[in-house]
């Protein structure tokens, strides 16, 4: 079972503001969420995706790609993750939580990371300071420590770091520079299409971008 938390679009990805015109910012956040959710649900090791969000636009979009939606308990990111993983999914199963800003995620890389995760384990972000994925086996509480410096916090809490050549998985998008990087890696169709429409990217020229 996998879980992705998503903030209200109007408040999300504040450090990314300015990468696209202000009124298109929520569309960019949503495009990245859709690409992330689509890649997660395409992984062979993933049976189900729960998106924890109170945003109705996000809820509708992720239901369209096959995710389930759970309400946000309203006590911040870690509370949302704990709720989705330990209460909605439940302790009896394997659970993995990912951030919703991984538009270059490759399903095969997620499969590889989840297969490598024995015990409570996490994947640091590309910078090495943050976390993009935390996984736990049955009966182990998630105990998430997301936020600034979360890689060190997860390590200190006893989780094992997973290091693989999973560039798209590790590349979260916090800033405009990260957006450039994911385009170079090959972002999902929604993100590429939006940036192409805005004239910000020549990266999407195939018919697939119309999707
Ligand atoms: N449901 C839920 N998701 C959250 C919350 N806070 C952050 N997230 C999500 O957690 C993931 C990682 O968070 P960040 O990378 O810090 O994203 P962010 O908070 O939108 O970004 P900044 O405003 O730039 O800090 C993203 O998918 C966010 O949408 C929260 O309180 N509730
Ligand atoms: C919440 C996190 O994401 P970021 O640091 O990208 O905001 C995290 O890495 O724990």
Does the Cβ of 174 fall within 6 Å of ligand 2? Answer: yes
Please give the pLDDT value at position 202. 54
Contact in structure between 58 and 30 (CB atoms under 8 Å): yes
Bridge pairing between strands 131-136 and 2-5? unpaired
User: Residues for the chain: how many in total?
Assistant: 211
ipTM confidence = 0.97
- Give yes or no for residue 9 having a pLDDT over 90: yes
- Give yes or no for residue 207 having a pLDDT over 90: no
What is the Cα–Cα distance from 160 to 162, expressed in whole angstroms?
6
**CB atoms closer than 10 angstroms to residue 158:** 9
Two tokens, residue 47 = 């049976």
Residue 94 is classified by DSSP as: -
For residue 101, which atom of ligand 2 is closest to its CA?
A: 6
Residue with CA at minimum distance from ligand 1 atom 11: 99
Contact in structure between 182 and 194 (CB atoms under 8 Å): no
Q: Is 150 annotated as a binding residue?
A: yes
Candidate from 12, 62, 103, 177 with most ligand 1 atoms within 8 A of CB, to mutate: 12
Does the Cβ of 134 fall within 6 Å of ligand 1? Answer: no
Indicate yes or no: pTM above 0.90: yes
Give the model confidence (pLDDT) of 85-140 as tens digits. 999 999 999 999 999 999 999 999 999 999 999 999 999 999 999 999 999 999 99
Give the model confidence (pLDDT) of 149-166 as tens digits. 999 999 999 999 998 999
Q: 3-state DSSP helix/strand/coil percent for the chain, to nearest 5?
A: 45, 15, 45
**Beta carbons within 8 Å of 151's beta carbon, 6+ residues apart:** 122, 124, 125, 128, 129, 130, 131, 161
């Amino acid at each position: 079972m996998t879980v992705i938390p998503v903030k209200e679009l109007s408040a999300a990805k504040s450090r990314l503001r300015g990468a696209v015109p202000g009124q298109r910012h929520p569309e960019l956040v949503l495009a990245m969420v859709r690409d992330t959710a689509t890649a997660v649900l395409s992984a062979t090791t993933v049976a189900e995706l729960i998106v924890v969000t109170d945003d109705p636009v996000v809820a509708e979009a992720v239901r369209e790609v096959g995710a389930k939606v759970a309400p946000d308990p309203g006590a911040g990111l870690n509370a949302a993750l704990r709720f989705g993983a330990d209460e909605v999914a439940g302790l009896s199963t394997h659970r993995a939580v990912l951030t919703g800003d991984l538009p270059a995620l490759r399903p095969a890389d997620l499969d590889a990371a989840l297969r490598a995760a024995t015990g409570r384990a996490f994947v640091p972000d590309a910078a090495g300071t943050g976390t993009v994925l935390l996984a736990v086996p049955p009966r182990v509480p998630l105990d998430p420590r997301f936020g600034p410096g979360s890689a060190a916090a997860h390590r200190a809490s006893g989780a094992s770091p997973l290091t693989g050549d999973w560039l798209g998985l590790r590349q979260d998008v916090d800033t405009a520079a990260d957006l450039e990087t994911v385009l170079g890696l090959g972002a999902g169709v929604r993100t590429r299409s939006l940036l192409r429409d805005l004239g910000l990217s020549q990266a999407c020229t195939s018919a697939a971008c119309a999707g």
